[in-house]
Amino acid sequence: QVRLVESGGGLVQAGGSLRLSCAASGRTLSGYNMGWFRQAPGKEREFVAAKSGSGSGGNTYYADSVKGRFTISRDNAENTVYLQMNSLKPEDTAVYYCAARWRYYSDSASSYDYWGQGTQVTVSS
SS3 of the chain: helix, strand, coil, percent, to 5:
10, 50, 40
- Whether 65 shows a pLDDT value over 90: the answer reads yes
Within 10 A of 37 (CB to CB), how many other CB atoms are there?
A: 25
Average pLDDT over residues 66-95: 96
Q: What is the per-residue pLDDT for 42?
A: 95
Q: What is the pLDDT of residues 3-48, one digit of tens each?
A: 999 999 999 999 999 999 999 998 899 999 999 999 999 999 999 9
- Whether 99 shows a pLDDT value over 90: the answer reads yes
Average pLDDT over residues 45-54: 96
